[in-house]
Amino acid sequence: MVATESERSARSTFPDLVDFRVARLDRFWRVFAHVAPIFFERGIAKPESKEISSLSVEPCDGEILMVTVFEIKKSKIPAFIRRELEFRFLAVRPQTFDGKPFESLAVLCARYSDEEFFQIRCKGSKMHFTALLLLI
């Protein structure tokens, strides 16, 4: 089987992932919402055309989103969370395309509003915000 671009992208972050598959997620939609520092580190960003925003999701009633689902080792999670600090991680229950819910919850990379990011990730502190910027 030939890997899709989505699977290649997932494997660039998690080379040892297993059980890659496509699923359905209700009440979310995709949004280009924030600049991802890793795009600049990996040379993916195109500042000349302003293609620098990262794709994430946000809740949206009435929408249906196609997502990819896979398993990773628990030991990989802390490094992923540290590297992807701009995301809000949500527990969701995807479904198969015939509507059967998955048995396990999945982690979804959603967007923060600016206020949520400041209050949650930075703990409402300008000092924490500045420290996070230095990590980027």
- pLDDT tens for 81-99 read 887 878 889 999 999 999 9
Instruction: Quote the domain boundaries for residue 75.
Output: 5-135
Which segments within 1-136 are labelled E, that is strand? 18-35, 53-71, 87-92, 106-111
Give per-residue pLDDT as tens, 15-25.
Answer: 999 999 999 99
Total domain count for the chain? Answer: 1
Give the CATH number of the domain where residue 57 resides. 3.10.490.10
More confidently predicted of 113 and 61: 61
Segments in the chain forming alpha helices (H): 5-13, 37-41, 77-83, 114-116, 126-135
Instruction: Give the 3-state secondary structure of residue 121.
Output: helix
| CA trace torsion 88, 91, 95, 96 (10° rounding) | 80
28: number of Cβ within 10 Å = 20
The span from the CA of 92 to the CA of 119, in Å, is: 22
Residue 83 is given by DSSP the state H
Give per-residue pLDDT as tens, 98-120.
Answer: 999 999 999 999 988 888 888 88
